[in-house]
């Protein structure tokens, strides 16, 4: 029903855009983990709250857990798909992306993605 060998061969043959990666799967996973950890820690150093305000479901506040590591992983995957890993198999690149992403979330996130308007015309808090 679901053959993993076909998916494995498709991924390594470039069907999903991963043909340009010249590093091992372990290095890719390690780079993602480092990006997540660095972005969360550096966001906490910049005093971004760990969790958004309650209620979490309707909160449009940024936090260290969301969207900081999600944006960092997306940017890192763009670099990997383009085949750019920098030095040390992408580890230095993952640290730099984690720091830049946390700076982006702290200072520029609401400039790029403004909060939605409420019913009375004011921004959501």
Question: Per residue in 70-117, pLDDT tens?
Answer: 999 999 999 988 888 888 888 999 999 999 999 999 999 999 988 877
The set of residues, in sequence order, having a beta carbon less than 8 Å from that of 10 and lying 6+ positions away, is 16
Helix 25-45 × helix 91-107 angle, to 10° = 30
d(CA 121, CA 2): 50
pTM: 0.76
| Mean pLDDT of the 4-12 span | 48
Rounded percentage of the chain residues whose pLDDT exceeds 90: 46
pLDDT at position 122 is: 63
pLDDT at position 92 is: 94
């Amino acid at each position: 029903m679901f053959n993993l060998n076909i998916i494995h061969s498709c991924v390594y043959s470039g069907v999903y855009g991963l043909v340009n990666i010249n590093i091992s799967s372990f290095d890719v996973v390690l780079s993602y983990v480092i990006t997540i950890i660095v972005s969360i820690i550096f966001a906490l150093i910049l005093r971004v709250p760990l969790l958004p305000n309650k209620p979490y479901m309707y909160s449009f506040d940024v936090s260290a857990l969301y969207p900081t590591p999600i944006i960092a992983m997306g940017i890192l995957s763009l670099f990997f798909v383009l085949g750019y890993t920098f030095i040390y198999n992408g580890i230095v690149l993952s640290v730099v992306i984690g720091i830049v992403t946390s700076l982006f979330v702290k200072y520029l996130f609401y400039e790029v993605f403004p909060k939605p308007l409420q019913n009375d015309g004011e921004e959501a808090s």
